[in-house]
Amino acid sequence: MLAIGSDHAGYELKEKLKKYFEENGIKFNDFGTFNSQSCDYPIIAEKVGKSVLNKESEKGILICGAGIGMSIAANKIKSVRAALCYEPELAGLARKHNNANVLCMGGRFTDFEKAKEIVKVFLNTDFEGERHQKRIDLITKLESN
């Protein structure tokens, strides 16, 4: 299961991605927002992040205007490793090296075709483990400080 959420600036891209998911049999839960009226992105980031934390969702996707606010907010949630990605290659590295479990994108800077490619890579790339696991463990250790 995939968790997805956006603020008002990411709403249009989120809705397009939802149609893409439905067409491709990708199961998801939409955590809002449900229209283009102004809203507070940290609330959406918390809902998606907690869905990943509680293992209700395997991965999450968050979209705001630039993607920056969502990534900052999501990374405040224990065990969430949110990565802001504007290119498919970055999504691949975020998964391979950082075991990112939440993808963040900027709705004002990422067109739908590029977003589809980024999402495909994010969802289909595995964590490489080995030397990278040690670094993930060090990140996790920071959460307890």
Q: What is the pLDDT of residue 145?
A: 63
Alpha-carbon distance of 130 to 97, in angstroms, equals 10
Q: Is the pLDDT of residue 144 over 80?
A: no
| pLDDT tens column, 92-130 | 999 999 999 999 999 999 999 999 999 999 999 999 988
Alpha-carbon distance of 1 to 75, in angstroms, equals 20
**Band of residue 78 on the pLDDT scale cut at 50, 70, 90:** very high
Q: Which of 64, 85, 104, 132 is catalytic?
A: 64
97 is catalytic: yes
CATH of the domain at 129: 3.40.1400.10
8 is catalytic: no
Domain count along the chain? 1
Cβ atoms of residues 65 and 98 within 8 Å: no
User: pTM for this one?
Assistant: 0.96
Full domain range(s) for residue 84: 2-143
Place of tokens 């709705």: 107
Q: Which of 8, 85, 97, 132 is catalytic?
A: 97
